[in-house]
């Protein structure tokens, strides 16, 4: 669980110390520990979500529109957010993934 990693990192523990106490709850690697690289990737994604919350909100809105069969059109940079450089126009054949929506991984803390 990302919350457990963030809490323990705030307590001064390193990712290498936290990693053995984490268990993957579902999927192909169920019951195993996530790699240190996976934990760092999850922390980087979390930092990106914290830095650009408007982009995550827009991705969720776009996903909801796609679920309702409404394909959103291009947005102007002002609508996309202050950090946008280009406009965004999703392909009608693309489906957002958990990673593109900034969902991240889920872990259980056993420690």
Separation CA 60–CA 55 (nearest Å): 9
Q: What angle do CA 40, 43, 49 make, to 5 degrees?
A: 145
Summarised one tens digit per residue, pLDDT across range 44-96 is 999 988 888 888 888 888 888 888 866 656 766 555 555 544 444 455 555 44
Structure-token match 């993934």, residue found: 97
pTM: 0.53
Summarised one tens digit per residue, pLDDT across range 93-108 is 554 444 444 545 545 5
Separation CA 41–CA 59 (nearest Å): 19
Q: What angle do CA 46, 50, 53 make, to 5 degrees?
A: 120
1 or 99: whose pLDDT is higher?
1
pLDDT of residue 34 exceeding 70: yes
- Domain boundaries along the sequence of the chain: 2-109
């Amino acid at each position: 669980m990302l919350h457990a990693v963030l809490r323990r990192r705030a307590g001064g523990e390193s990712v290498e110390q936290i990693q053995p106490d984490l268990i993957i709850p579902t999927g192909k690697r169920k019951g195993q520990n996530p790699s240190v690289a996976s934990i760092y990737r999850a922390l980087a994604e979390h930092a990106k979500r914290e830095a650009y919350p408007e982009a995550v909100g827009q991705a969720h809105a776009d996903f909801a529109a796609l679920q309702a069969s409404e394909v959103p059109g291009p947005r102007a940079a002002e609508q996309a957010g202050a950090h946008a450089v280009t406009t965004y126009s999703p392909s009608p054949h693309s489906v957002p993934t958990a990673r593109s929506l900034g969902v991240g991984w889920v872990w259980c803390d056993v420690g």
